[in-house]
Structure 1
Amino acid sequence: MTREMMNDLMVARLLRDHGRSKHHWRKVIGPIRLYARDTHPHCNWTLTPTGDMRDVALIENLLDDLRMAHPLLTA
């Protein structure tokens, strides 16, 4: 899975489960940072959501599930 696909997946799930708009969730999610697989063999991506506490908590909970299903991303 690519970083763009992951971003689209997160936006779709947040939109479906919590409403608002695609623009809102893309802004709150922010960029996905990738790390080298040789230094991060179990999960090579991260992001730092911004926004209010509710939005950040929703994204962090979603990230827990998505990291288990998609631990490695490609550029």
Structure 2
Amino acid sequence: MTASQLHDHLVRTLMRKAGGTLRRWRTVVGPVRVHDPATHVHCNWSVTPTGTSREIAEVERLLDVVRLEHPIITAG
């Protein structure tokens, strides 16, 4: 999975589970940062969500699940 595919997956899943618009969730999730797997062995990506406390909590809950399913991604 690439960073852009992961971002799309996060945004669409949040929209389905929590409602709202794609545009809003794209803003809340922000960019997916890809780290070097040599230094981030267990999970080489991260996001820093911004928004309301409810929105951030929704993102964090989803991230816990998605990190288990897709711990290593590629840039792109």
Per the normalisation by structure 1, the TM-score is 0.97
Q: How many residues align?
A: 75
Equivalent pairs: percent with the same residue? 45
* Residues 35-65 of structure 1 deviation map (CA, whole Å, 9 limit, x = unaligned): 1011111100001000000000000000000
Amino acid of the residue matched to residue 64 of structure 2? D
Structure 1: distance between partners of 2:73 and 2:49: 18
Runs of at least 4 residues off by over 4 Å? none
**Structure 1 unaligned residues grouped into runs of 5+:** none
**Structure 2 unaligned residues grouped into runs of 5+:** none
2:42 corresponds to 1:30: no
